[in-house]
Amino acid sequence: MDAVLAGTTLLVLVVLDLLFPSVSLAVLFALSPMVACAVLTPRATAGFGVAALAAASTSYWWNHDEGLAQHGVRVFAVLTFSATAAVVAHIRVRREHELQHVSRLAEVAQRAVLPVLPAHARRVNIAVRYRSATADAVIGGDLYDCYHSRTHTRFLVGDVRGKGLGAMEQAARVIRSFRQAAAFQQDLDDVADDMNAYLLPFFDPEEFVTAILLDVTDSRRPQIVAAGHPPPLLIHPDGSSELVELANDLPLGLGFAYERHDFTWEPGDRLLLYTDGLSEARDADGEFLHLLELAPHLVGVDVDAAVDRLLELTRDHSRGSTDAADDLAVLLLEHAVDEQDYRPEDAEHDWGSSLPR
């Protein structure tokens, strides 16, 4: 299609020059390679430059200005612009390759930071997704993690202030602090306290991370610590839902003490942990996404299919919006209906300590 546009530009100009021979348009033939250089390879751009030069050189047949100095100036102008277009195309392609290389490196770095979570832990089924606000790259400040061992099963969803490489660097520190604290602290509030103490020396005065910490070691009596983060959404098998409202402590990096809260869920219930890229998603009219209306769409299928459906609904809602997109992380947990006894051999793979630190 891009080559068609460049070719059509040249063809239209030649036809106009033929129809109006009294006003030579030959110098405008250079528009064809100039259009091509924005989207095509240097070789293709040079090809359109040669075609434009050939058309300009022969335009004297119908313009009847052979031998005139103006004709030579027009041909020289087309030659100059065509050569410039080929150089521009070369520079553009080289920079695109460099950008692709940097994007691949950034994606590898982000994949190294964000772990692969187990599909099951104790009596909990797990699905997680991440979507970056940075176009064509998996990079940002939203994060998630799971620590699963013989003694504890704990989850983290967080949102570092900011975007891009700086936010990703801080996200890596948050995950590292979680893995260290989750492995050694018995109580979830102590995990949050340890994380906060670890992060404070690394954060500038205006940096912080909102987070939800969840402990499902006893899947019948899970515990939550909320550090300035949006409340989880509890979804029942019939599609009804409610937000798990609880006292919200200050974000990590700003707080001093954290409190854990108990909540109840029944077998078959699902708990959605998310970042504000979901709760603050807007449509073209500026309307926020209503989380409670999402719940009926997140039941009746397995948790993996449910989170895929969630991202699709979010994309549909935000289509046409002029607001800047935000990073998005969602973690959907299901209290399994079938009895799944925790086996000691399941802990041989320690999801907390085996992941990159």
> What's the CATH number for 118-348?
3.60.40.10
Could you tell me which residues come within 8 angstroms of residue 210 by beta carbon, excluding any fewer than 6 positions away? 158, 159, 227, 228, 229, 230, 251, 252, 275, 276
Q: Which residue has the tokens 């936010």?
A: 167
Please state, in angstroms and as integers, the Cα–Cα distance from residue 350 to each residue in 121, 141, 146, 314, following that order: 11, 25, 10, 33
Distance CA 142, CA 191 (A): 19
Q: Which residue has the tokens 């051999």?
A: 345
pLDDT at 346: 42
**Residue 288 DSSP symbol:** B
Could you tell me which residues come within 8 angstroms of residue 235 by beta carbon, excluding any fewer than 6 positions away? 241, 269, 270, 271, 272, 295, 298, 299
Q: Which two tokens stand for residue 309?
A: 């459906």
pLDDT tens readout for residues 33-65: 888 898 899 999 999 989 988 888 887 666 666
Q: Residue 157 in contact with residue 215, Cβ under 8 Å?
A: no
pLDDT at 64: 66
Could you tell me which residues come within 8 angstroms of residue 141 by beta carbon, excluding any fewer than 6 positions away? 159, 160, 161, 162, 163, 164, 167, 168, 170, 171, 209, 327
Intervals of the chain under pLDDT 50: 136-137, 339-357
Q: Which two tokens stand for residue 40?
A: 């095509």
pLDDT at 354: 40
Distance CA 3, CA 10 (A): 11
Nearest CA among 329, 356, 353 for reference residue 112: 356
**Residue 284 DSSP symbol:** T
pLDDT at 2: 67
295 SS3 class: helix
Could you tell me which residues come within 8 angstroms of residue 132 by beta carbon, excluding any fewer than 6 positions away? 110, 138, 139, 140, 142, 327
Nearest CA among 146, 165, 164 for reference residue 154: 146
Please state, in angstroms and as integers, the Cα–Cα distance from residue 113 to each residue in 106, 145, 170, 252, following that order: 11, 10, 10, 19
pLDDT at 297: 94
Three-point CA angle 281, 216, 244, nearest 5°: 40
Could you tell me which residues come within 8 angstroms of residue 11 by beta carbon, excluding any fewer than 6 positions away? none
Which H or E element spans position 14? helix 2-19
63 SS3 class: helix
pLDDT at 285: 78
Q: Where are the domains of the chain?
A: 2-106, 118-348
Query: DSSP strand E in 28-104: where?
Result: none
pLDDT at 161: 83
